Chains A and B, each alone.
Chain A
Amino acid sequence: MALTPPSERIWWKEPIAKIELTWILIAFCWGLIMFFMMIYWHGAGEQNLSNETYRIKPEVFAERAQAMIDEYTVREEEGFPVVRPPPGSDVYLIARLWMWWPILELEKDQSYRLHLSSLDWQHGFSLQPVNINVQVHPGYDLVMTIKPDVAGEYGVVCNEYCGLGHHNMVGKIYVVE
């Protein structure tokens, strides 16, 4: 029994049943497949999180974002600037208690270098309804190249708990033809 010392004292010399051995082999190979799948996707897949990160001071990130806002704001919406930066450019999205700033307007099928950082606590960039979720930290500038491929209006929900106003932290991204 499992509750008593093994009945065969030299238990490590007992043979292993074939069925157990088969399962171990299958499970092991499946593990390898799953492991190489992640590597394969870095080459063949189109959805990989960027490894490009810089340390940055919150003030510096805020300044860069402000420069983009000053240059490319096209209109205002509920007190938020709507910014339409040119395709291929560096785009900044600020996370702070409790808003995503500014609203971005991007062109469909164009690439952008999206910078994400927080000015205070951790936040969670949760782009809906596509359901892309990335963690946002203060002091880290995560740069990801994104290429929106469906036009529409997207919500940016905060999905890292960030205090009492957490559930009110919603931003917006437009993708236009």
Chain B
Amino acid sequence: MATATEFRTCPNTGLKVDLAAERLIKANAVVAIVFLAIGGLFGILVAFTRWPAVHLLPADWFYLALTAHGLDVLLVWIIFFEIAVLYFASAVLLNSRLAAPKFAWAGFVLMVVGALITNVAVLQGDSSVMFTSYVPMRAAPNFYLGLILFAVGALIGCFVFFGTLVVAKAEKTYEGSIPLVTFGAMTAAIIAVFTIVSGAIILIPTWLWSYGLIPDIDPVIYKLIWWGMGHSSQQINVSAHVAIWYAIAALVFGAKPLSEKVSRMAFLMYILFLQIASAHHMLVEPGLSSEWKIFNTSYAMYLAVLGSMVHGMTVPGSIEAAQRKNGYDRGLFEWLRKAPWGNPAFSGMFLSLLMFGFLGGISGVVMGVEQINLIMHNTLYVPGHFHATVVAGTTLAFMAITYVLVPLIFRRELILKGWARLQPYVFGIGVAGNSLFMMGAGTLGVSRRHWDISFADASLPFDYPAAAFLMMGLNGISAILAMLGGLMFVIVVVGSVFFGRKLGADEKVSLGEVAGSGRAVASYGSSDTIKIPGTAVLVAIFFIAFVLYYFVNWKYLSEIWPMS
């Protein structure tokens, strides 16, 4: 029954790597990237259709492509990659065998099958209901079935992760507490369980309803529970990509968290104050009280936001501290100027950090204000916001860590290093453009999920301002950049995995270009040795931008029709 676990030894870290875990990490990461490519293609079709001068797809194909885009990137790409991250953060980092690899494979198969079933249902054409599938609009039963199977598979992945934590503890494969990155991954996995349970509570009845077995489903309750899944899963993404920020800071700079206590508390905030996170999707819905909305949209007074703001300081702070230790100690920003900007793992990670904070974080909090939501709900501002969080933030961070996983886990040298160097910038600038121009269009009132903003065949005439059309054109141009960046990523990574030079069993991988990178910096971290003035300036700029933008939007709100 129990077959002996086979290991290899990582020449960089000396950690034992369970070969079964390694195979699972590879499989999940590869499938993730395949779906990123497919979903990205749909994204491009959507962006070109929304570019008024191009208006690529006919209406029915547009809504189909938009449904497929949301599903394949938001669910399939991200969750497959997260499962790979979970296995990496448990088995590999804890020097342990993976608990129950057979179950892990069963979960993997369920996820693949589920993703395929839902994709086929969408491509067949009667399930263009958007990935949110709000009732009473009805998709084909297989649309829901595929999602349910996918979720069950992901749940199995989470339990394999928890099992591995238990195994590692019992077999004493590490000393003391689990590493911070593993702690972050654990946060993600705990939230994932809550997420998937919410998903089951709503999707299973909806699936039965699609067969006519349940007479009807209340549309407000549906949304409430659906977003219990939909929003919590964004908190999984945040936990996972913040863990990756810490991981890359450690790999490239040997950076050590400023304070384990603070960083771990910040992760814990995500779990404790998740609340009914669906609230900020329901701020202009009928049937819910303002008290309920205010308490929940603020996650109990913004304590989860506090968690992110803390990471926003501690991650660059740990890099600054490490760089200063490495000798880049001049002025405010030598540590940042002399950072390895040509290393895609670092540049991707740092761009992810900046854009997640400045674009995604600020816009998200502002849009989540009960009253301000009135001037943004369901406009393009919403996709503008979440392309900053989930694409510039999560996706870019996942891309960045992939550049490290290719040599460490796939044991291949990267091909096309010049492309890899450029890729985070091309993709990052493109996505920043998508995000900003969609937010701009949304501010001008342009609706999301809308095929024709010129209203050529509408029942009554209406015109958005000319500036809105300009925004959509600029969004289309940014999409070209984002597409190129995405394509470069897929070519570099897939090319490396299949054709990159195989690394010898004892060959060390160089992860950074800075002197002393890859090795742990000597101990610091107590209150008197930390000196991070550069980070303090960055954080101050962020805070000022946040406060200004927040109050500007109250000003905009005060200019609309009085209502109560």
A24 to B543, CA, bound (A): 12
B235, CB-defined interface residue at 8 Å: no
Within 8 A of A (CB), among B357-407: 365, 369-371, 373-379
B283 CB contacts on chain A under 8 angstroms: 49
Q: How many residues of A contact B (CB 8 A)?
A: 91
Q: Which of A5, A48, A78, A138 contacts B179 (CB 8 A)?
A: A5
A162 to B444, CA, bound (A): 22
A168 to B454, CA, bound (A): 10
A49 CB contacts on chain B under 8 angstroms: 283-284, 290, 370-371, 374, 563
Interface centre among A1, A4, A53 (most CB of B within 10 A): A1
Are B374 and A47 touching (Cβ within 8 A)?
A: yes
Are B289 and A51 touching (Cβ within 8 A)?
A: yes
Q: Which of A5, A135, A148, A166 contacts B377 (CB 8 A)?
A: A135
Q: How many residues of B contact A (CB 8 A)?
A: 109
Asked whether A170 and B458 contact (CB < 8 A) given A131-B560, A134-B377, A158-B447, the answer is yes
State how many angstroms separate the Cβ of B337 from the closest Cβ of chain A: 21
B449, CB-defined interface residue at 8 Å: yes
B445, CB-defined interface residue at 8 Å: yes
Q: Which of A53, A99, A149 contacts B562 (CB 8 A)?
A: A149
Are B286 and A167 touching (Cβ within 8 A)?
A: no
Interface centre among B178, B450, B523 (most CB of A within 10 A): B450
A38, CB-defined interface residue at 8 Å: yes
Are A5 and B130 touching (Cβ within 8 A)?
A: no
B171 CB contacts on chain A under 8 angstroms: none
**Binary contact track A1-32/B, C-beta < 8 Å → 1, others 0:** 11111111101101111111001101110111
State how many angstroms separate the Cβ of B180 from the closest Cβ of chain A: 4
A37 to B302, CA, bound (A): 12
Are A139 and B218 touching (Cβ within 8 A)?
A: yes
Are A41 and B525 touching (Cβ within 8 A)?
A: no
B272, CB-defined interface residue at 8 Å: no
B474, CB-defined interface residue at 8 Å: no
B284 CB contacts on chain A under 8 angstroms: 49, 133-135
State how many angstroms separate the Cβ of A48 from the closest Cβ of chain B: 5
State how many angstroms separate the Cβ of B248 from the closest Cβ of chain A: 9
Q: Which of A9, A17, A148 contacts B527 (CB 8 A)?
A: A17
A134 to B547, CA, bound (A): 26
State how many angstroms separate the Cβ of B80 from the closest Cβ of chain A: 22
A144 CB contacts on chain B under 8 angstroms: 563-564
Are A170 and B462 touching (Cβ within 8 A)?
A: yes
A68, CB-defined interface residue at 8 Å: no
Are B369 and A146 touching (Cβ within 8 A)?
A: no
Within 8 A of A (CB), among B417-474: 443-445, 447-453, 455, 457-465
B30, CB-defined interface residue at 8 Å: no
Are A130 and B560 touching (Cβ within 8 A)?
A: yes
Asked whether A1 and B179 contact (CB < 8 A) given A131-B375, A166-B449, the answer is yes
Of chain B, the residue at the smallest CB distance from A168 is B458
B130 CB contacts on chain A under 8 angstroms: 161
Are A35 and B460 touching (Cβ within 8 A)?
A: no
B539, CB-defined interface residue at 8 Å: yes
Asked whether A145 and B250 contact (CB < 8 A) given A17-B258, A39-B294, A126-B447, the answer is no
Are A12 and B261 touching (Cβ within 8 A)?
A: yes
B369 CB contacts on chain A under 8 angstroms: 34, 37-38
Asked whether A167 and B455 contact (CB < 8 A) given A31-B301, A133-B375, the answer is yes
State how many angstroms separate the Cβ of A20 from the closest Cβ of chain B: 5
A11 CB contacts on chain B under 8 angstroms: 177, 260-261
B175 CB contacts on chain A under 8 angstroms: 5, 9
A171 CB contacts on chain B under 8 angstroms: 459-460
Are A169 and B458 touching (Cβ within 8 A)?
A: yes
Are A172 and B460 touching (Cβ within 8 A)?
A: yes
Asked whether A132 and B561 contact (CB < 8 A) given A4-B179, A166-B450, A167-B59, the answer is yes
State how many angstroms separate the Cβ of A128 from the closest Cβ of chain B: 5
A169 to B249, CA, bound (A): 50
Q: Which B residues contact A (CB, under 8 angstroms)?
A: 13, 59-60, 63, 93, 129-130, 134, 136-137, 174-181, 218-220, 246-247, 249-251, 254-263, 282-287, 289-290, 294, 298, 301-303, 305-306, 309-310, 313-314, 317-318, 365, 369-371, 373-379, 443-445, 447-453, 455, 457-465, 520, 523, 525-527, 530, 532, 536, 539, 543, 546-547, 550, 554, 557-558, 560-564
Q: Which 9 A-B pairs have the closest CB atoms?
A: A31-B302, A155-B462, A159-B447, A142-B286, A2-B246, A46-B562, A11-B260, A159-B378, A2-B180
Please list 20 pairs of residues, one from A and one from B, whose beta carbons are closer than 8 Å in the complex, sorted by A's number: A5-B177, A6-B179, A16-B259, A19-B532, A20-B317, A26-B543, A27-B306, A38-B370, A45-B557, A48-B563, A80-B460, A98-B459, A120-B136, A121-B136, A131-B375, A134-B377, A137-B219, A142-B287, A158-B447, A168-B458
